[in-house]
A and B are shown apart, each in its own frame.
Chain A
């Protein structure tokens, strides 16, 4: 049991934070939001030059060879700096599908371009009416000779409007909800019969609804094994959820620090408002939630690489639940403790709050994660006690 970071991990964390501190500011974020800019090409290139875009990819693929912990460190930094970059969409989600599922020749084409920042990929998986059921795939891929014709609708494709290519999940067999019969395809953004509508999420991230109205792709666009993409998708989504937990912790850290500072400086009734016990206790409860969420983000980061799939899924669901719940609490209290100022767009507090709220909703909010968690099978229970026997009234 070891919670300490290695020297390389500490360096990675410091260098990402230093780079973002120097090259990105809250004013830039606000300007990007006003300009409806989904990402900053300049910042993305800088992250590429720093090697950050290669963090989770193996050295054979030209990456840094990082695991869950390294991704966690990057996401925490991206979170507390309130960036808008497509790290989750391109590197974790779509990049994860390619790195874990694609053939070597496909990886050779795609991964170096992801890593050097010249190609943006987006993951088109969620569908209308699926709500939080991540296994629901209704989009059809019908065979047409050697080719496939894709028909269906994808929703909430993160950073879709800046993507050069999409990784699209579609059904090559079975019915929506079946675990078997899902296949991943690479679809070019400029493909014929591909339409879409772009919109912002409430915190500013831009997303796309994608219409696939008979998009024809060749057999070379298939990623991984036909009909059997679901385990791969689950793996990648678990990594994405663990990454979001880390981003949330980075945000909660920053938000808590900002709030405590505010309590020390804001004067009312002739004293700093942090002297009032009612407010002190809220600040402490924020810390309790934050540290509990941090514990789960650490656990998720260390288990996403685990070969025990059921343990991985259980831990990730629990971590997503905990960070979702903690994020709501910390965000709500931060607004309350900042008073009217917390309500303004001008202060970063509201931006943190909205991003935390979005993170909770993405891939299933706390309530849905609890249901997922409760209905999963436990793996290797540690308790060894005998069950109590029920005995009825003896008269």
Chain B
């Protein structure tokens, strides 16, 4: 047992840091570090830089354009990227549908879609949740009826992130209503430019447009866009949810946010002293910092089990729960740190080019919105209660 990075791992970290320092545009990292609104072009810009370097699809097999990095190396890469303020990689193509196509797709699908994910030509979105199917995902009702060499899709999906930018959608659809509800589901790749698709924005509590409803009205999808077997889509869905489990903890980004929090709390004054010296506030910061230290080690335990070829232990299952709790706590602390200046609502100041007046310190403007927005983290990706159900059944055998 040695909880220090090896010489090779440290050298790798140096190489990653050097590359990011030389290639991450300053205006882009500033947006991330200062919690400014990011557009599609921001994400694509960074992804193209990584693609050129060959570092975009870290988790994919080498023959499909992956890096061949170990799980520890991938952790280091995420850590360095987050610390430097790189935009997060949009997960829908790289971390979700990509690995599913690699595992279950046809040769044609691999040739057709994987290169376009890597080059960022296709922006993917996810068609999982429905208005009546949230945590009970398998109860979904969107139907795909086979007619000749096409499926005709009708139904409604919701909580679709960035569908307004998307070219493609991976969708769970019902192809049979016989037997168990999980058994009649298929995994379809749908062109978002097809006739019959309507994307309607859902404005979330902080006032932003991040998620959408999608309506499918007699949308024609070629049968070659079926991934895996008909009525076996649940297998793909489960595979997708279990993939990239270490990434979901968001340790790198949380370390960055903790650092930012300390800077804010050092500059904010209370009773003539920095807020960071207030024992009550300092205590809350220390608690989340220690939780984060522990989570980082828990992540590395999972990553190293992966390297040793062992199945992830129970520690893998806690990453989502603890990771999102920490993310939420950090946004809450940041909002609390600016005190009354959390109150002014200035969404125009969340953009990059705002030159108008701030109310209070300029770092205060996006903090309440982030706190509101981050309540999503314990709901999405299988709510934390669903995660607890899974652990209770799969790990504890209850």
Contact = CB atoms under 8 A, between A and B. Distances in A.
Contact of A296 (B9, B34, B260, B294): B294
Contact of B33 (A1, A285, A322, A385): A385
B396 A260 contact: yes
Contacts of A263: 398
Contacts of B389: 277, 280
Interface string B286-327: 110111011101101101110010000011001001100000
B297 A374 contact: no
Nearest to A306: B4
Interface in A321-344: 321-322, 325
B283 A1 contact: no
B282 interface: yes
B1 A388 contact: no
B83 interface: yes
A322 B295 CA distance: 11
Nearest to B75: A1
A274 interface: yes
Contact of B290 (A285, A321, A381, A382): A321
Interface stretch (A14-22, A105-113, A286-294): A286-294
B295 to A, nearest CB: 7
A303 B263 contact: no
B3 A1 contact: yes
Contacts of B33: 385-386, 388
Interface residues of B, number: 63
B95 interface: no
B298 A295 contact: yes
Contacts of B298: 291-292, 295
Contacts of B293: 296, 299, 315, 318, 322
Contact of B260 (A321, A373, A385): A385
Interface string A373-384: 110000001111
B282 A374 contact: yes
A260 B259 contact: no
Given A264-B398, A383-B259, A1 B5 contact: yes
Contacts, number: 172
A264 B362 CA distance: 55
B290 A284 contact: no
A383 B257 CA distance: 10
A69 B291 CA distance: 22
A370 B259 contact: no
Interface stretch (A3-11, A93-101, A131-139): A3-11
Interface in B329-359: 357-359
B318 A299 contact: no
Given A4-B1, A291-B314, A388 B263 contact: yes
Given A1-B300, A274-B398, A390-B267, A302 B3 contact: yes
Given A292-B294, A385-B84, A299 B282 contact: no
B318 A291 contact: yes
A302 B314 contact: no
A387 interface: yes
Contacts of A241: none
B256 interface: yes
B83 A3 contact: no
A393 B285 CA distance: 27
B358 A385 contact: no
Interface string A220-254: 00000000000000000000000000000000000
Contacts of B188: none
A80 interface: no
B392 to A, nearest CB: 4
B77 to A, nearest CB: 14
A390 B363 contact: yes
A388 B34 contact: yes
Contacts of A269: none
Contacts of B357: 393-395
B1 A69 contact: yes
B6 interface: yes
B217 to A, nearest CB: 38
A295 B297 contact: yes
Nearest to B70: A1
Contacts of B6: 1-2
Nearest to B322: A288
B23 to A, nearest CB: 15
B360 to A, nearest CB: 7
Given A1-B9, A283-B392, A388-B34, A370 B286 contact: yes
A243 to B, nearest CB: 16
B255 interface: yes
B361 A2 contact: no
A391 B79 CA distance: 29
Contact of A393 (B291, B297, B360): B360
B359 A302 contact: no
A387 B83 CA distance: 12
Contact of A9 (B1, B279, B294, B314): B1
B385 interface: yes
Contacts of B1: 2-6, 9, 69, 298, 301-302
21 contacts: A3-B305, A283-B392, A284-B388, A285-B388, A291-B314, A291-B315, A292-B322, A295-B295, A299-B3, A299-B293, A315-B293, A370-B286, A370-B290, A371-B283, A371-B286, A373-B289, A374-B286, A383-B255, A388-B34, A390-B361, A391-B361
Q: Which 5 A-B pairs have the closest CB atoms?
A: A295-B297, A280-B392, A302-B3, A274-B398, A374-B286
Given A263-B398, A295-B295, 14 more contacts: A1-B303, A5-B1, A9-B1, A280-B396, A318-B294, A370-B287, A371-B279, A383-B83, A384-B83, A385-B33, A385-B83, A385-B85, A391-B362, A395-B357
